[in-house]
Structures are given as structure tokens and as C-alpha cells.
């Protein structure tokens, strides 16, 4: 028997072609598996970020979500909803991230990871379309379209056909199936069939992503943003005191001498109707008020001239001392933090007797001393 030269050539060409086609297929499928592991490593990095305590992922989740609000199409209602249920969504994102990392790296349930990853990206893109081209943005929305392209490539390329647990399991299932077939038992339907892309699966992949994208957009529009409440007003209270001459005793007198203020910022107005007095040893430095000043007839003053100091309003326990010229209106503010009762008194010698430092009304309750209650 003779083989013609032509026939031999033809045969080797066919074999060569077949082997080239085969090695091209192997190379293409290897590239797909490398892509799979690559995207798995990206997700692993995200997962490491989530579990690293230094990043306080769970603690910061709500704040980070709320920061996306301003760039959302349709308002920040969805962000407010997610932030209000931060624990649930933080765990959801963490679980999906962890699943994608290990599914892609190990090649375990590869095709499901493509669908779940695709849905995850599509929801984020749909909900955060406004952040997509916001540079610099505080979001990581920008890379999700790339993820979608990668997942599509993995699905179309039949990722998971090699170097994967899917592949190992598929082989095991196939062996078992062959064994059962030999025993003439019906084979169970395999869920691990890797390396083949059924039209059925591709349809669900595309439909899932389109629906998720629409869902993300829809949620954005559907959940209305609750208007931000106005900032709580600073709590002010007022203490209005007058120093006038008591008609019966003829002594200068604080009215009221005992009074109550709310804790917080207290605005004092003391109207001193008594006459001016010179007191040369006056310390005369305002202490304990906001900015260390009192406002005498509209002029802020830190040190009072000793040539006119009729009285003082002093509470040593609060470090407060304010000196009051005669015939003046004095205003000052004090931040009173702790509730309690505090005795106040006048240190300026306004006594009517022989010793003006000790004679009445100095030290007389209801005249030159009293109690301020902070609630």
C-alpha cells in the first residue's frame, strides 16, 4: 500500500491546524481564568479593607453613604434610607464582597458570582449614576462599568473551566454521572457545569443586570429625601437685674436677688441706677464672662475705670466677677454648664455704716447677696 505525498501533506496540515486551534483555545481559556482570578484579587482587596479594624468600615458606613447624597440623581432619599439601616447594608456589602473575592479566586460558583457581582454593580451604577463622572469623587462607583464588562467576558468566555473548584467538581460530577449511567440510574442535574455558556444562563445574566440597574435608578427616584431639619438653636436664657435704692431702707438693692436661669448661654443685663462711686483699690478686671468683657452702655470693656465702680456681681465658684459703674446698663454673657445653686455677692464697699466693707446693705441677703440657680 502506498501513501501519496499529497495525502500525507494534507493529513499533517489538518493535524497541525487542529493542534493550533486547540492551543489557541487553551490560551484563550487560560486568559479568561487569569481575568477571573484578577477580579477576585480586586474583591479580596476590598474585603481586606472591610475587615481591617483601622478602617472602621462598619462605624463609618452611614457617614460614607450619606456623603454620596449630593451627587445622586433623584435626591438623597436612598442614601438616607441606607444610612438609617446602616447595619443591614454594611453587612450585605461585606458579605457580597467576601463572596465575590473567594468565588472568583477559587473558581467556585463562578457563573453565579458573575451574576451576583453584575447585579451588585448594576444597582450601584443605577443608584449612583450622578457620581460616575464626578472627579474627584469620594465614591468608588467609577470602576463598576469595568466590572460589568469583566463579568460579561467571564460568562461569555466560560470562566471556571480550568484551575477552579468548579472544574474539579464538574469532573467529579461527570465521573459519578458516567458511573450512574453505567448502572442505568438517572443522573442528577449538575449545577457545577463550568466552561459552557448556556443561552439560558446568559439571558439571566443580562436580564439580571438590566433589572438591577433599573431598580437602582428606581429606588433613587422612589425614596424621597426627608428635608434636613434646621440646626438646633443655641439655647439662650436671660437674667435681667436692676440695682435701685430701696425706698424704705434707703439702701441700694439688687432686684431680683434670687433668680433662676437655664444652663447654656445666659445673657445678663444689669441696670445700675445707683450713683457713681470712686473705689481706688478696685481690682476692676472682668473675669468669667464670654470673651472676658462686659458691655457698659454699649461699649465692651475688659478693665473698668476705678473712678466709677458702684457695685459688683461676683460668683467666685464660677470665676465670675463683673464691676458695675453707677448710672449704667451693663450686659455680659456667661456659658453656664453645670446646674446648681451659686451664691453671688457684691464686693464693692457700698455699706452705709462706719465700715462700708461690712455694714449693710453689704452682705445682706436680698440686697447685696443672693442665690443664682442654674437648672
Residue with cell 445678663: 268
Size of interface with Cu ion, in residues (CB under 5 A): 5
Q: Which stretch binds Cu ion (CB under 5 A): 6-14, 52-60, 63-71, 306-314?
A: 306-314
Q: Which stretch binds Cu ion (CB under 5 A): 98-106, 150-158, 184-192, 365-373?
A: 365-373
First to last CA, the chain: 118
* Pick 86 or 270: Cβ nearer Cu ion: 270
Distance CA 287, CA 302 (A): 8
Enter the C-alpha cell of residue 224. Answer: 424621597
**Residue 369 touching Cu ion (CB under 5 A):** no
**Residue 311 touching Cu ion (CB under 5 A):** yes
Indicate the helix (H) or strand (E) that contains 315.
Answer: strand 311-315
The residue among 285, 286, 374, 290 whose CA lies nearest residue 334 is 290
**Residue 144 touching Cu ion (CB under 5 A):** no
Task: Say what the alpha-carbon torsion angle 208, 210, 215, 216 is, to the nearest 10 degrees.
Answer: 110
Min. distance of Cβ 300 from Cu ion in angstroms? Answer: 23
Min. distance of Cβ 80 from Cu ion in angstroms? Answer: 57
**Residue 350 touching Cu ion (CB under 5 A):** yes
**Residue 368 touching Cu ion (CB under 5 A):** yes
* Pick 102 or 345: Cβ nearer Cu ion: 345
Distances (CA, A) of 366 to 60, 185, 327, 361: 55, 105, 20, 9
**Residue 304 touching Cu ion (CB under 5 A):** no
Residue with cell 484578577: 38
Positions in 166-185 near Cu ion (CB under 5 A):
none
Min. distance of Cβ 311 from Cu ion in angstroms? Answer: 4
Distances (CA, A) of 280 to 75, 192, 305: 67, 98, 9
* Pick 217 or 364: Cβ nearer Cu ion: 364
Min. distance of Cβ 261 from Cu ion in angstroms? Answer: 21
Min. distance of Cβ 316 from Cu ion in angstroms? Answer: 16
Maximum CA extent, the chain: 152
The residues that touch Cu ion, with contacts defined as CB under 5 A, are 311, 346, 348, 350, 368
Amino acid at each position: 500500500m502506498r501513501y501519496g505525498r499529497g495525502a500525507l501533506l494534507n493529513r499533517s496540515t489538518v493535524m497541525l491546524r487542529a493542534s493550533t486551534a486547540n492551543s489557541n483555545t487553551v490560551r484563550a481559556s487560560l486568559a479568561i481564568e487569569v481575568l477571573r482570578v484578577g477580579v477576585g484579587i480586586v474583591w479580596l482587596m476590598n474585603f481586606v479593607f472591610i475587615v481591617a479594624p483601622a478602617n472602621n468600615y462598619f462605624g463609618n458606613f452611614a457617614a460614607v453613604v450619606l456623603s454620596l447624597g449630593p451627587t445622586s440623581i433623584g435626591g438623597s432619599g436612598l442614601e438616607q434610607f441606607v444610612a438609617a439601616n446602616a447595619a443591614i447594608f454594611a453587612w450585605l456589602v461585606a458579605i457580597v464582597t467576601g463572596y465575590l473575592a473567594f468565588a472568583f479566586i477559587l473558581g467556585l460558583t463562578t457563573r453565579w458570582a458573575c451574576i451576583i457581582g453584575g447585579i451588585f454593580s448594576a444597582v450601584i451604577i443605577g443608584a449612583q449614576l450622578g457620581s460616575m463622572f464626578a472627579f474627584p469623587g469620594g465614591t468608588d462607583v467609577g470602576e463598576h462599568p469595568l466590572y460589568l464588562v469583566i463579568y460579561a467576558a467571564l460568562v461569555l468566555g466560560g470562566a471556571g473551566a480550568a484551575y477552579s473548584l468548579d472544574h474539579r467538581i464538574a469532573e467529579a460530577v461527570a465521573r459519578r454521572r458516567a458511573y450512574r449511567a453505567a448502572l442505568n440510574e438517572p443522573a442528577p442535574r449538575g449545577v457545577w457545569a463550568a466552561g459552557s455558556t448556556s443561552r439560558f444562563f446568559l439571558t439571566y445574566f443580562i436580564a439580571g443586570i438590566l433589572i438591577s440597574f433599573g431598580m437602582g435608578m428606581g429606588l433613587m427616584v422612589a425614596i424621597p429625601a426627608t428635608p434636613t431639619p434646621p440646626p438646633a438653636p443655641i439655647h439662650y436664657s436671660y437674667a435681667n437685674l436692676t440695682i435701685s435704692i430701696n425706698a424704705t431702707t434707703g439702701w441700694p438693692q439688687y432686684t431680683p436677688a434670687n433668680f433662676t436661669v437655664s444652663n447654656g448661654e445666659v445673657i445678663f443685663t444689669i441696670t445700675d441706677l445707683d450713683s457713681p462711686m470712686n473705689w481706688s483699690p478696685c481690682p476692676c478686671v472682668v473675669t468669667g464672662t464670654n470673651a472676658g468683657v462686659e458691655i457698659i452702655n454699649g461699649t465692651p470693656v475688659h478693665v473698668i475705670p476705678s473712678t466709677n465702680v458702684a457695685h459688683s456681681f461676683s460668683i467666685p465658684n464660677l470665676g465670675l466677677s463683673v464691676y458695675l459703674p453707677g448710672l449704667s446698663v451693663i450686659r455680659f454673657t456667661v456659658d453656664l454648664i453645670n446646674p446648681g445653686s451659686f451664691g453671688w455677692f457684691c464686693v464693692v464697699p457700698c455699706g452705709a455704716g462706719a465700715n462700708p466693707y461690712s455694714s449693710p446693705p453689704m452682705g445682706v441677703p436680698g440686697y447685696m447677696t443672693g442665690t443664682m440657680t442654674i437648672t
